[in-house]
Chain A
Amino acid sequence: MADIQTYSHDAGWKHTVLRGLLYLILILFAAYYLFPLIVMISTSLKSLDEIREGSLISLPRVVTFDAWNYAWNEACVGVECTGIKIYFWNSVKMAIPAVLISTFLGAINGYALTKWRFKGANIVFALLLFGCFIPFQVVLLPMSQVLGKLGLASSTPGLVLVHVVYGLCFTTLFFRNYYVSIPDELVKAATIDGAGFFTIFWRIILPISTPIIVVSVIWQFTQIWNDFLFGASFASGANAPMTVALNNIVNTTTGVKQYNVDMAAALLTGLPTLLVYVLAGKYFVRGLTAGSVKG
């Protein structure tokens, strides 16, 4: 599409003006997207007094990390005032197993469905895929019942189970679409060489799956870390994930509103996924568009 630049009929100064306008619009939009982030960081580094006296967009006169420290170690979530760090680790304990398990299951499902097709495989895939689209409100009630009966209510393993079950459809979709374009002849050759189902998976298919594994892991991590609905519904207590704790901190009605703490807590919650995005954003985008453009 870059070619189209050369097709513009405008020449000379008119062209320059339009290019200038182009950049201006883009920069304005960039400001719109960056503004909240800048404000968030700036507010979190101010003292409460400065917030009240100063303006929203003013940079902190005195940079202080007190709010960050408070958020991490002392903020009150419910009746416990031990900071958000506990909940950070809750999220970690929940996210890592959930991401790994759902990715692995998605891989082996995708492999089985594409390279060892059986009758009804398409129906199985369609039914699995369908589950991606349901509004989760419709499973909240029965899930809380089931978790209760399994003794997993308000626990991290319970959350892991929930995230694995509802993440399966996405990971299977990713891997299935990826494996479809790996030639079947690879599997045939390995079969003739004497390799079986699992040997082919470990030694031939998985080693060439790195791109999609990265996509799946990033997508799942983002979804699971950022989730609130499941966390609030199934683990709103000592085992709550960070997002639930954040909401709790921000929406407390008691005491003075500490906006800087709120912002610090929000940043702490958003940092992991933001970091992942900055470092591996290319794969993130691929994950976002992979499932949806094809519908």
Chain B
Amino acid sequence: MGASQSTESNLTASIQRHLSKIVVAPSFAASLFFVYGFILWTGYMAFSKSRMLPVWDWAGLRQYERLWQMERWHVAIENLLIFGGLFIVTCLIIGCLLAVLLDQRIRAEGALRTIFLYPMALSFIVTGTVWKWLLNPGLGLESMMHDLGWTSFKFDWLVNSDMAIYTVVIAAVWQASGFVMAMFLAALRGVDQDIIRAAYMDGASLPRIYFGIIIPSIRPVFLSAIVVLAHLAVKSFDLVIALTGGGPGYSSDLPATFMYTMAFQRNQLGVGAASAMMMLATVMAIIVPYLYSELRGGKKNG
């Protein structure tokens, strides 16, 4: 091999070796800029004096102070806790129940699964729109019940400040419980058959087998489901906008809608940024320990 040939092949060999890195670089750079860079930007904004336009003047913790002094923010946080809690618990119960029921060698299992899951394919806007119609005080569920004879039935939650947030729970559960069911069903199907046979030979009854053995053994999936649902809850924006618009007033506001209103409609960039950072912190508090424990414990994922 001539000298010039070897330098040329050295160059191509060198590029080949680094090709992998070159290929991944754009995505990595995009991630660094559009994710981490932006987080830093928003973080800084939360420390700045920004109102309508971003400015770089330092304002310390003032935006956070203002944030926490706003009653609307407190309402949003409270709503998040109510909504998040109910949403997660209800989805878990329904999802688990449906998964267990579907696991019993049902004849129309495929069709039922499709029916339970299809809401997940819809946009939250579509979901919000249809439930807004269903729960319409005058023409929706209430009037249907009246027509069926139950004339004293009242369902004005949608326009009731105290109850509006619960309508969001109803719609969200409708959308997401099928997904939880799918997760649980997959997990149930992966349980070691021998353990069940052993329990059967010990004389355990079917409910006993389920509650005592199977459900505890899919505990990791519970955790996964909770993390996914919590994540969905914190991010909930589309559904609230479509269903209640955050109202009446701001009684069904969630941090996500709060942030949007402050940043894009109320010329309160700083406060909006501060609320976004609070949302980030909440999500991190859930995700980071979870990811850490997953990566530590489950090295099987390569």
Contacts and interface: CB of A to CB of B under 8 A. Distances in A.
Nearest to B121: A277
B31 A169 contact: yes
Contacts of A226: 122-126
A250 B20 contact: no
A151 B248 CA distance: 37
B105 A2 contact: yes
Interface string A131-142: 101111111111
Interface stretch (A49-57, A62-70, A75-83, A204-212): A49-57
Nearest to B223: A295
B256 A139 contact: no
Contact of B279 (A131, A138, A165): A138
A284 to B, nearest CB: 7
A39 B130 contact: yes
B38 A139 contact: yes
B139 A51 contact: yes
Given A137-B279, A196-B16, A250-B242, A55 B144 contact: yes
Interface stretch (B83-91, B161-169, B187-195): B187-195
A265 B39 CA distance: 36
Contacts of A196: 16, 19
Interface string B220-233: 01001001100100
A265 B115 CA distance: 22
B123 A270 contact: yes
B183 to A, nearest CB: 6
A1 to B, nearest CB: 5
B131 to A, nearest CB: 7
Contact of B28 (A33, A117, A127, A141): A127
B215 to A, nearest CB: 12
Interface string A189-221: 000000011000000000000000000000000
Given A137-B275, A270-B126, A39 B104 contact: no
B209 interface: yes
A100 B117 CA distance: 25
Interface in A116-164: 116-118, 121, 124, 127-128, 130-131, 133-143, 145
Nearest to A172: B27
A108 interface: yes
Contacts of B73: none
Given A5-B105, A289-B182, A30 B116 contact: yes
Contacts of B237: 137, 228-229
Given A22-B104, A43-B133, A166-B34, A247 B19 contact: no
Contacts of B197: 3, 7
Contacts of A273: 121-123
A55 B74 CA distance: 39
Contacts of A229: 237-238, 256, 260
Contact of A246 (B129, B131, B234): B129
B98 to A, nearest CB: 6
B277 A138 contact: yes
Contacts of A243: 123, 125-126, 238
Contacts of A165: 30-31, 34
A56 B263 CA distance: 38
Contacts of B302: 114, 177, 180-181
Nearest to B277: A138
Given A138-B42, A295-B294, A40 B16 contact: no
Nearest to B291: A295
Query: Which residue among B127, B130, B178, B189 has the maximum number of chain A CB atoms within 10 Å of its CB?
Result: B130
A222 B183 CA distance: 18
A197 B16 contact: yes
A284 B24 contact: no
Contacts of A5: 104-105
Given A23-B106, A292-B228, A266 B20 contact: no
Interface of B: 16, 18-21, 23-24, 26-28, 30-32, 34-39, 41-42, 45, 54, 94, 98, 101-106, 112, 114-127, 129-134, 136, 139-141, 143-144, 147-148, 174, 178-179, 182-183, 186-189, 191, 193, 196-197, 200, 205-206, 209, 221, 224, 227-228, 231, 234-235, 237-238, 241-242, 245, 255-256, 259-260, 263-264, 269, 272-273, 275-277, 279-280, 283, 287, 290-291, 294, 298, 301-302
Top-5 shortest CB links A-B:
A226-B123, A116-B20, A277-B121, A56-B144, A228-B238
9 contacts: A26-B102, A36-B127, A56-B144, A117-B20, A138-B276, A141-B54, A266-B126, A270-B121, A274-B121
Interface of A: 1-5, 7-10, 22-23, 25-26, 29-30, 32-37, 39-40, 43, 51-52, 55-57, 105, 108-109, 112-114, 116-118, 121, 124, 127-128, 130-131, 133-143, 145, 165-166, 168-169, 172, 177, 180-181, 196-197, 222, 225-229, 232-233, 243, 246-247, 250-251, 259, 262-263, 265-267, 269-270, 273-274, 276-278, 281, 284-285, 288-289, 292-295
Given A127-B28, A273-B122, 17 more contacts: A26-B106, A30-B112, A30-B115, A33-B178, A135-B276, A135-B280, A136-B235, A140-B276, A142-B38, A196-B19, A228-B123, A229-B260, A243-B123, A247-B125, A273-B123, A288-B183, A295-B227
